[in-house]
């Protein structure tokens, strides 16, 4: 019997764990995860000086909706991938849909802009630091997510780790919006997504060890 088949067989024989209990645990640990990310923004990066006026506008909340929706998708994926026999199909479809909407929004925005303005819309003023800032904040938040999810029993530890990383990344990127003044859909679709993707990759690497049987 192959190792993966043996793990799957053992996982299916596990006694059931209350879904709500494990999910509540992850939700509980999302609070300190968001807290450390917020502390990183406040004490390391600083809040954006126009925050009060920014929260009154739609672009701030549109960006937050994108990152928060990826956080939700990460949570749902983690819930599915962490349970032997559960299908991740629906949360994977949701994730793909969110990314497709962001990409489509960015394309429409760029097509409606003057050609000489498009590069500035993509690069903004902080393209070089945005992904690494999100990665750093996500790395601060991730340990809490992994600790909260340790009662899961994923058949594919790396995939579950990537989902946990996406959850941490969505939290971190949402909080990062309190610092980042960038508002174009093109910038967010490229650089925010890249930063969150890096956290997911980090989560996959960590998942191989933290979720390993």
Q: Model confidence over 20-45: pLDDT tens digits?
A: 777 889 999 999 999 999 999 999 99
pLDDT of amino acid 19: 61
The more confident residue out of 48 and 16 is 48
The conformational region for residue 67 under phi > 0 = left, psi -120 to 50 = alpha, else beta, is alpha
Largest CA distance in the chain: 62
Q: Which whole number is the average pLDDT over 110-125? A: 96
Q: Which of 179, 148, 147 is nearest to 45 (CA)?
A: 179
Q: Which residue has the tokens 């999810």?
A: 149
| C-beta of residue 102 within 8 angstroms of C-beta of residue 189 | yes
pLDDT of amino acid 210: 87
pLDDT of amino acid 81: 93
3-state SS, residue 11: helix
Q: Model confidence over 145-169: pLDDT tens digits?
A: 999 998 888 989 999 999 999 999 9
Report the predicted TM-score, pTM, of the whole model to 2 decimal places.
Answer: 0.89
Q: Model confidence over 56-70: pLDDT tens digits?
A: 999 999 999 999 999
């Amino acid at each position: 019997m192959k190792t993966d088949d043996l793990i799957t067989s053992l996982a299916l024989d596990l006694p059931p764990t209350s879904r709500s209990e494990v999910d509540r645990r992850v939700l509980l640990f999302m609070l300190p995860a968001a807290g450390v990310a917020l502390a990183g923004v406040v004490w390391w990066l600083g809040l954006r000086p126009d925050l009060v006026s920014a929260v009154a506008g739609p672009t701030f909340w549109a960006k937050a909706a994108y990152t928060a929706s990826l956080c939700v998708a990460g949570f749902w994926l983690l819930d599915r991938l962490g349970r032997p026999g559960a299908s991740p199909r629906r949360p994977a479809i949701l994730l793909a849909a969110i990314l497709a909407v962001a990409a489509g929004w960015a394309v429409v925005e760029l097509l409606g802009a003057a050609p000489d303005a498009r590069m500035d819309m993509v690069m903004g003023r902080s393209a070089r630091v945005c992904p690494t800032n999100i990665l750093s904040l996500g790395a601060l938040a991730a340990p809490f997510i992994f600790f909260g999810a340790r009662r899961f029993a994923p058949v594919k530890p790396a995939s579950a780790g990537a989902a946990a990383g996406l959850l941490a990344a969505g939290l971190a990127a949402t909080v990062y919006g309190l610092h980042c003044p960038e508002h174009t859909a093109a910038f967010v679709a490229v650089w925010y997504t890249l930063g969150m993707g890096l956290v997911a990759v980090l989560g996959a690497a960590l998942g191989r060890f933290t979720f390993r049987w």
